């Protein structure tokens, strides 16, 4: 096994550190098909990258080590706590890229989290995408964007989008992406309610509700056309009317307080509110930046959310910083 080439094409700071950041996402459309024999659901989703970023900083070292700061930094246990060992997607990203490049996985990995864990915002995926970009630069592996996208898909269904950013249609498990043109900026308020929700638990609840006939069986997926057309040119009311998430009913069933959180977001003046991904984050669509900031202030005082943020999208995917 060879060692990483020194420096490579990346931007090595004076202290030998390389940093990259990647965004959270909101699924403005999340259609979930039937459970497939391989245990996955066929998805048709439209991702929007929003301005809440995690940063991953990497440094030369022997072997791998990991530090986590910020949102969810704790003892590494529990659904809202970020794992500190090889269960962490950043650790897995390092091992995968090193294997791909035929080098040994040597780096100190540091994650600065502002994206809450297990919130339906793909925080772990953002970290993995940022790690791929930062380590490619640190190790000089000269992976192409296509190579990184292939590795990203092996790490998780949302990781390719965290790498790409912007707006994209995701099919298969969400990892097959086609970029979508969005001509304008969209403003949101994100309300993070209580503890994290486990994504597999939300999918299992959806399967149960479908088996019981409480929900349609998922054989027919709703068209993504209306949401894509609305994203392209607006107005806000058109996107508000087109938002949909098949995981919202099971997320509400597992976390009934979400109903109140959605109502509070709409009552405060959001054009529409929906659960982001598998929840429990609520995304409220605002008319403009001022409205998003006002909604954030009002909802922060309403006592329904642990954290409230005004964000906008689309924003770029994982890239080097500094």
Token digits of residue 231: 């994203």
Shortest Cβ 78–ligand ATP spacing (Å) = 8
Token digits of residue 48: 């929007």
CA pair distance 127, 24, nearest whole angstrom: 10
Q: Cβ of 297: how many Cβ atoms within 10 Å?
A: 13
Residue from 297, 281, 315, 258 nearest 51 by CA: 315
Could you list the beta-strand ranges (E) of 2-106.
17-35, 41-59, 64-70
> Smaller CB distance to ligand ATP: residue 158 or 187?
158
Are 98 and 125 in contact, with CB atoms under 8 Å apart?
no
- State the residues that interact with ligand ATP by CB under 6 A: 79, 82-83, 87-90, 111, 117-125, 127, 158, 196, 199, 277-278
> Smaller CB distance to ligand ATP: residue 89 or 268?
89
- Active-site annotation holder among 136, 158, 187, 246: 158
Shortest Cβ 205–ligand ATP spacing (Å) = 14
Burial 122-149 (b: 16+ CB within 10 A, else e): bbbbbbbbbbbbbbbbbbbbebeeebbb
Residue from 197, 199, 161 nearest 180 by CA: 161
CA within 13 Å, CB half, 97:
34
- The annotated binding site for ATP is made up of 116-126
25 is a catalytic site residue:
yes
- Active-site annotation holder among 25, 108, 187, 246: 25
> Smaller CB distance to ligand ATP: residue 89 or 190?
89
Shortest Cβ 90–ligand ATP spacing (Å) = 5
Shortest Cβ 238–ligand ATP spacing (Å) = 26
207 is a catalytic site residue:
no
Are 268 and 302 in contact, with CB atoms under 8 Å apart?
yes
Residue nearest to ligand ATP (CB): 124
DSSP secondary structure, 250-293, as one string: HHHHH-THHHHHHHHHHHHT-SEEEE-TTSS-EEEEESSHHHHH
Shortest Cβ 77–ligand ATP spacing (Å) = 9
> Smaller CB distance to ligand ATP: residue 77 or 259?
77
- The annotated binding site is made up of 116-126
> Smaller CB distance to ligand ATP: residue 90 or 101?
90
Q: Which residues are catalytic?
A: 25, 158
């Amino acid at each position: 096994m060879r060692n990483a080439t020194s420096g490579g094409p990346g931007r090595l700071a004076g202290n030998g550190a390389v940093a990259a950041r990647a965004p959270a996402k909101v699924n403005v459309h999340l259609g979930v098909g039937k459970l497939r024999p391989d245990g996955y659901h066929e998805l048709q989703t439209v991702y929007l990258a929003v301005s809440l970023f995690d940063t991953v900083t990497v440094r030369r070292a022997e072997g791998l080590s990991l530090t986590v700061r910020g949102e969810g930094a704790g003892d590494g246990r529990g659904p809202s706590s970020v794992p500190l060992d090889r269960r962490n997607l950043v650790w897995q990203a390092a091992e995968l890229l090193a294997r791909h490049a035929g080098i040994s996985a040597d780096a100190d990995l540091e994650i600065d989290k502002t994206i809450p864990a297990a919130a339906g915002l793909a925080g772990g995926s953002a970290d993995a995408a940022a790690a791929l970009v930062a380590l490619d630069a640190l190790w000089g592996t000269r992976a192409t964007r296509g190579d990184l996208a292939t590795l990203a898909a092996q790490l998780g269904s949302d990781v390719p989008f965290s790498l790409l950013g912007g707006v994209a249609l995701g099919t298969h498990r969400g990892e097959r992406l086609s970029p979508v043109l969005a001509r304008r900026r969209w403003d949101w308020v994100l309300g993070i309610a209580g503890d994290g929700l486990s994504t597999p638990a939300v999918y299992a609840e959806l399967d149960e509700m479908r088996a019981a006939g409480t929900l349609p069986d998922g054989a027919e997926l709703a068209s993504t056309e209306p949401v894509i057309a609305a994203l392209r040119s607006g107005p806000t009311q058109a996107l508000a009317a087109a938002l949909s998430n098949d995981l919202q009913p099971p997320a509400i069933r597992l976390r009934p307080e979400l109903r109140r959180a959605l109502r509070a977001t709409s009552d405060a003046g959001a054009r529409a509110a929906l659960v982001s991904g598998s929840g429990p984050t609520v995304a409220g669509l605002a008319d403009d930046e001022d409205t998003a900031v006002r909604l954030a202030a009002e909802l922060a005082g309403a006592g329904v959310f642990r954290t409230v943020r005004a964000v906008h999208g689309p924003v770029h995917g994982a890239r080097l910083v500094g």
